[in-house]
Amino acid sequence: MDFFLSNILVIVCLFPAAGIVLLLFVPRESVRLVANLVAFVGFLISIPLVTHFNDPAYIDPETRMRFVVKASWIDAIGAQFYFGIDGISLLLILLTTLLGFLSILSSWSAITERVREYYCYFLLLQAGMLGVFMALDFVLFYVFWEVMLVPMYFIIGVWGGPRKLYAAIKFFLYTLAGSVLLLLGILALYFFQYSQTGVWSFDVLQMRNLGVPLDLQWWIFIAFFVGFAIKVPMFPFHTWLPDAHVEAPTAGSVILAAILLKMGTYGFVRFSLPILPEATLQSIPWLLLLSAIGIIYGALVAMMQKDMKKLVAYSSVSHLGFCMLGVFVVTPVGLEGGLLQMINHGISTGALFLIVGIVYERRHTRMIADYGGLSHVMPVYATVFLIMTMSSIGLPALNGFIGEFLVLQGVFAHPLYRLWAVPAVIGIVLGAAYMLWLYQRVMLGKNDKEENQNLTDLNLRELVTFVPLIILAFWIGLYPRPFLEYLHEPVNEVVQIVRPGEFSPLPTQTARQ
């Protein structure tokens, strides 16, 4: 058990990759089952991360990182195999393992061609994403960051919609363009660190205390910004997103929205903010502006969509703008709200893509105009859809409310940036408008289309994919404290680095004891 727990990060990350090897050798009929089992076990073995998170045996006393694994890798350049997580990564990792499993489960009947290949890509994607959230060495991080582009490219390109080729290549090229600039920024940081300390190292945590001069900080900040902002995506780098989300198969869209986008926001919180604090502080007004434009623009464009999936895709642009608003105001509550909103967006938008996928699988159309009055024939589906709509627009008692509330509270906490709450609130109103309008047009009214008369309601497997998401939505909505408590410590740390002494830290568990 101790061996398992001390290497748990490596095991959780590489388990899906090992599953690929297994998948290559099982007979054709059982590929589906094995893939689902691998993903499910992958989720189960990530649970000890939560139960032993505060076990002092697995906390690195110096960095406060949990379950640290460190091994030498490329000595010549000082790159290490260095895994470790804090509360932020913990939530994202669990989101990844859970949604990874759910999206694989949701593909059970949707994917009929090249099944084995499909699951291989998915498991590879899973390993890549988990590595991104675990790596504390810049080179290692970059490796995972890029690796996961490849399977996503294939998932969109092979099983995607009519414009899949265009969407797949656009996704890959856009992200790569950001990544290579990110690499240059990493290198500049690396050489600066060497000139200061005389040690070749890519240790992310050590780079926090470098005191990079402001002009160099700016260059590195721009390089990082482009890399992460494309991934988030922030306005005006968002144009790959609608294409990729719409053309990807349902499970691909779920992963894209729920987890891939979070890699960008995670990058900002893990790297840009603590390593380049002065440049961050100086650029806050611009970052807030871009976030606010994203919120309003995404919401307005979503309202105009005739395609359900496109609507949900643009709503992502809007919601991610919300996350970024909370993150970039860099107040304790705002940052925490932004991070929680990332998880919330993963749950509700992931679920919404699944919801769109359900009717698409039955009717092979995503046009809103082709539906209407579905609640008459699919009552269970209507309930799930309603819950997730409410979660997405932030109805109290559901998760979206907590996230949005915290973000607004955080923005308000800073006297200079108080007014940025205005576009955010407008965004919430618009969000309610397009989501409710969507629900009304698809689910309510008379079921007057011939083809929609005999639609079947959710089957058991489909219902099972939604249950965990619904539970989480209510859990975070009614009792968010356990989730927020994981975030207090890293959030305090980041805020203290960026704005030393400006805000009183959030009360952490250790402080209370």
Query: Which residues contact another protein by CB under 8 A?
Result: 73-77, 117, 139, 142-143, 146-147, 149-150, 153-154, 157-158, 164-165, 169, 172-173, 176-177, 180-181, 183-184, 187-188, 190-192, 195, 219
The single residue listed with the structure tokens 């109103």 is 429
- Tell me if 309 sits within 8 A of 356, measured CB to CB: yes
CB of 176 to another protein, least distance (A): 5
* CB of 75 or CB of 450, closer to another protein: 75
Q: Which is nearer to another protein, 157 or 294 (CB)?
A: 157
Q: Which is nearer to another protein, 62 or 75 (CB)?
A: 75
**φ/ψ (deg, to 5) at 35:** -60, -45
- The C-alpha atoms of residue 346 and residue 205 are separated, in whole angstroms, by 27
Tokens found for residue 274? 């603590």
Write down the least CB distance from residue 162 to another protein, Å: 13
Smaller CB distance to another protein: residue 17 or 284? Answer: 17
**Closest approach of Cβ 142 to another protein, in Å?**
7
Which CB atom, from 133 or from 190, has the smaller least distance to another protein?
A: 190
Three-state SS at 307? strand
Q: Which among 63, 492, 510, 503 has a CA at the least distance from the CA of 273? A: 492
Q: CA dist 390 to 372, 395, 398, 400, 508, Å?
A: 19, 5, 7, 8, 31
Surface-to-core class of residue 56, CB atoms within 10 Å of its CB (0-12 exposed, 13-18 middle, 19+ buried): exposed
Residues 12 and 130: beta-carbon distance below 8 Å: yes
- Rounded to a whole number of angstroms, the minimum distance from the CB of residue 47 to another protein is 28
CB of 99 to another protein, least distance (A): 24
Q: What kind and span of H or E run contains 74?
A: strand 66-74
Residue among 4 and 191 whose Cβ is closer to another protein: 191
User: Least distance from C-beta 106 to another protein, angstroms?
Assistant: 23
The answer to whether 408 and 421 have CB atoms below 8 angstroms apart is yes
Q: Is the dihedral of CA 348, 353, 356, 359 positive or negative?
A: negative
Nearer to another protein, 34 or 158 (CB): 158
The nearer residue to another protein, 144 or 371, going by C-beta atoms, is 144
**Minimum distance, C-beta of residue 194 to another protein, in the bound complex (Å):** 9
Quick one: tokens of 176?
A: 């790569």
CB nearer another protein, residue 133 or residue 314 = 133
Residue type, 4: F
Q: Tell me which residue has tokens 């919180």.
A: 269
Length of the chain: 513
Q: Is the peptide bond before 61 cis (omega within 30 degrees of 0)?
A: no
Neighbours of 165 (CB within 10 A): 12
Q: Report yes or no: 308 and 366 within 8 Å, Cβ to Cβ.
A: yes
Q: At its nearest, how many Å lie between another protein and the CB of residue 275?
A: 16
Shortest Å, Cβ 129 to another protein: 15
